[in-house]
């Protein structure tokens, strides 16, 4: 299928018009695909880029389906978020589009169902138990586990409610907060895995999975597990990459992800790689939209649009750079007075992307989950030393644009 000719007749529905979907909307435009974009916000950043824009509540299935039928859409796609995936699966099933089935989406959003799929197919992962909404923790359930342990909500995201707990009393103290982040009150308690943490960015096309890039993660000190930096390519030997790839692909197959991007989180332990979880979607934290393209030249947003439309994706790398996204923190408890312009920073050599999330009058909170990070910058360079040096220098300059009271 010719990208410039045939694709002009195609129409895709994009869920989300926020900053995380801008590159997705742009990719559709570059492919000559008509974009029908829906978002709950009145005037999100991507509204002006869309060929057609509709403000639709994220739970409004009837309106979403009516828009999809009106525009005779050929595919569905979203970027860096999971909230619309259940609705997308239902819509795809109703109108006959290629997308994850509702069963597969549920399996990929529900961390307990995911773990059961991994265990059924002998995919290495953390052992764990489920404490349901109407249950309390029974310590005798944990007799085969040693502290420290990890607790997490069954279906939350962005590290909300995820803690490392060191003792029975620590577990009890954290449990109520963790439960508050779960939609149904269910909590997972898992064995603690020690090692280096990575993510693997993949595209699966007609059942064949291609590893696009390996990403090295840097997280906050425990008890939280918030990601504060991502490096590409990860510092891994060829043998480690092969071992990780084998485990990741087995996890993707266990979840029955067939035509989709996936973002797999993995821990490289002394016993080998073990899956933490897999998202049947593009990776967040600008990994798919900016970081991977900066290191490989591959636009995962472009490939996601192509796969959604049944087109063989462009997966040939044309770059070999180091890229690094680094988030910054600020003194807790201080009030944000104003945000200075950082436009000139975007023009500096090596800078790919930068953003400040915090707003005037915000009170800086401890970074207990991803949404509380004040801002970030993404850089690229030819060497590992240079990419870290640029990130450190520019992060300091960017954080100085936040004037605190």
Q: What pLDDT digit, counting tens, does each position of 233-262 carry?
A: 999 999 999 999 999 999 999 999 999 999
Same domain, 202 and 307: yes
Asked whether residue 13 is domain-assigned, the answer is yes
Residue 272, domain CATH: 3.30.470.20
pLDDT at 5: 42
Same domain, 112 and 242: yes
Kind plus residue range of the DSSP H or E element containing 273:
strand 272-279
pTM for this prediction? 0.92
Residue where the block lists tokens 């690094």: 324
- b/e 109-126 (16+ beta carbons within 10 angstroms → b): bbbbbbbebbeeeebbbb
Residue 6: is its pLDDT beyond 80? no
Extended strands (E) in 40-193: 52-55, 75-78, 128-131, 149-153, 163-165, 187-191
Asked whether residue 1 is domain-assigned, the answer is no
Return d(Cα 176, Cα 396) in angstroms, integer.
36
- Give the domain-ending residue among 316, 339, 364: 316
- Give the domain-ending residue among 191, 210, 237: 191
Same domain, 110 and 224: yes
Q: Which domain holds residue 90?
A: 6-99
Residue 134, domain CATH: 3.30.1490.20
53-95 pLDDT, tens digit each: 999 999 999 999 999 999 999 999 998 889 999 999 999 999 9
Same domain, 181 and 282: no
270-285 pLDDT, tens digit each: 999 999 999 999 999 9
- Give the domain-ending residue among 255, 281, 316: 316
Number of structural domains in the chain: 4
Question: Which neighbouring-strand residues pair with 125?
Answer: 275
Sheet with 52-55: strands ordered across: 52-55, 34-39, 11-15, 75-78
**DSSP conformation class of 291:** I
Same domain, 217 and 114: yes
Same domain, 90 and 106: no
Return d(Cα 378, Cα 380) in angstroms, integer.
7
Bridge-based pairing of strands 227-232 and 322-328 is antiparallel
Closest CA to 314 of 336, 295, 296, 331: 296
Return d(Cα 369, Cα 28) in angstroms, integer.
31
pLDDT at 134: 84
Helix (H, G, I), strand (E, B) or coil at 281: coil
């Amino acid at each position: 299928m010719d990208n410039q000719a045939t694709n002009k007749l195609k129409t895709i529905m994009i869920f989300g018009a926020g900053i995380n979907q801008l590159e997705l909307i742009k990719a559709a435009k570059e492919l000559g695909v008509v974009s029908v974009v829906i978002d709950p916000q009145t005037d999100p950043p991507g509204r002006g880029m869309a060929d057609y824009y509709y403000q639709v509540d994220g739970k409004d299935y009837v309106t979403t389906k009516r828009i999809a039928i009106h525009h005779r859409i050929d595919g569905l796609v979203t970027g860096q978020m999971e909230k619309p995936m259940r609705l997308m699966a239902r819509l795809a099933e109703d109108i006959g589009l290629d997308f994850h089935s509702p069963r597969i989406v549920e399996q990929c959003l529900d961390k307990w169902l995911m773990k059961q799929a991994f265990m059924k197919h002998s995919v290495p992962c953390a052992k764990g138990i489920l404490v349901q909404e109407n249950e309390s923790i029974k310590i005798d359930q944990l007799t085969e586990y040693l502290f420290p342990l990890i607790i997490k909500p069954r279906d939350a995201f962005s590290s909300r409610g995820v803690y490392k707990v060191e003792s029975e009393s620590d577990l009890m103290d954290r449990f109520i907060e963790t439960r508050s982040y779960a939609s149904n009150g269910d909590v997972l308690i898992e064995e603690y895995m020690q090692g280096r943490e990575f993510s693997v960015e993949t595209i699966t096309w007609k059942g064949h999975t291609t590893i696009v890039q390996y990403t090295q993660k840097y997280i906050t000190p425990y008890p939280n597990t918030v990601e504060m930096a991502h490096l590409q390519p990860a510092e891994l030997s060829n043998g480690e990459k092969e071992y990780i790839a084998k485990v990741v692909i087995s996890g993707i197959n266990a979840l029955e992800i067939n035509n989709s991007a996936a973002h797999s989180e993995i821990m490289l332990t002394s016993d080998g790689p073990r899956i933490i979880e897999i998202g049947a979607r593009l990776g967040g934290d600008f990994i798919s939209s900016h970081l991977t393209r900066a290191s490989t030249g591959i636009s995962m947003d472009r490939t996601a649009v192509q796969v959604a439309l049944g087109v063989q994706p462009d997966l040939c790398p044309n770059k070999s750079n180091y890229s690094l996204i680094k988030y910054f923190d600020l003194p807790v408890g201080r009030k944000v007075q104003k945000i200075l312009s950082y436009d000139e920073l975007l023009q500096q050599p090596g800078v790919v992307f930068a953003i400040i999330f915090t707003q005037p009058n915000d009170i800086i909170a401890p970074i207990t989950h991803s949404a509380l990070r004040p801002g970030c910058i993404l850089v690229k360079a030819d060497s590992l030393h240079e990419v870290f040096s640029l990130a450190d220098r520019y992060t300091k300059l960017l954080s100085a644009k936040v004037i605190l009271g």
